[in-house]
Amino acid sequence: MLLSVVALVALASCSSDDGRQLPPAGPDQTRSILTTTTAPPSSTDPLLAEEVDDAALTSSATAELALVLPWRDDGIIDVKYTCSGDNVSPAVTWSNVPDGTVEVAIVMSDPDANGFVHWVVAGLDPLSGGIPEGAVPPTAIQAVNDFGDLGYGGPCPPSSHTYVVDIYAIGQQLELPTGVPASDLVLAIESSLIATRSIAGHYP
């Protein structure tokens, strides 16, 4: 009997509440310790690299032939490039020359005077990126302008006129000599044209 009482007391002491209560679980304690992580796409992923390359090729392919002159498009031509000044040809710079371009040509004309031609020069190296002010390479082809002079003849209008400078990317070598009429050289340029770009200017 004594042994039974001792056993019951021991059992009661093991299972009885000691009076303390556990605090409620916090929000972080209900979370699973298992997490799922998605790795960012790797720059070395061949599919991603292919998409980047395709975008770069598309951007390069759609780049337009660019032209830079001493005046902005639709701006005022400095007097130094006219008959009232030094009558010197402007520096011409180009970029984004399309594939297949063999040479570059430049034409300056006056649409307010029925397309009067002031300058035609061809045979320019497309990789040179441009020509300096007042000079053309000795290998270039220059036509006789509508003033009857070889090379450049600057604006010389009785009133304000608009002048257009066109640059041409040409797909074949022109076989015309220096000194041909401007109309003949312009016709040859237009017959093998790949791309063109224009900038207008006003004087005075």
**Which residues span the domain enclosing 173?**
60-203
Domain annotation covers residue 126? yes
The CATH number given to whatever domain includes residue 137 is 3.90.280.10
Classify 193 as helix, strand or coil.
strand
Domain annotation covers residue 174? yes
Domain annotation covers residue 12? no
Domain annotation covers residue 189? yes
What is the per-residue pLDDT for 34? Answer: 36
Residue 48 pLDDT level (bands cut at 50, 70, 90): very low
Classify 38 as helix, strand or coil.
coil
| Residue recorded with tokens 């005075």 | 204
139 pLDDT higher than 80: yes
Domain annotation covers residue 11? no
What is the per-residue pLDDT for 109? Answer: 98
81 pLDDT higher than 60: yes
18 pLDDT higher than 80: no
**Beta strands, E only, the chain:** 66-68, 75-76, 92-95, 103-110, 116-124, 130-131, 141-142, 161-170, 193-203
Domain annotation covers residue 54? no
What are the pLDDT digits (tens) for 140-154?
999 999 999 999 999
Distance CA(134)–CA(156), nearest Å, equals 17
Q: How far is CA 185 from CA 108, 189, 191, 204, in A?
A: 13, 6, 10, 28
Domain annotation covers residue 21? no
Least trusted range by pLDDT, from 21-25, 30-34, 168-172, 173-177: 30-34
Count of structural domains, the chain: 1
Domain annotation covers residue 34? no
Identity (one letter) of the amino acid at 109?
S
22 pLDDT higher than 90: no
Share of the chain above pLDDT 90, in %: 69
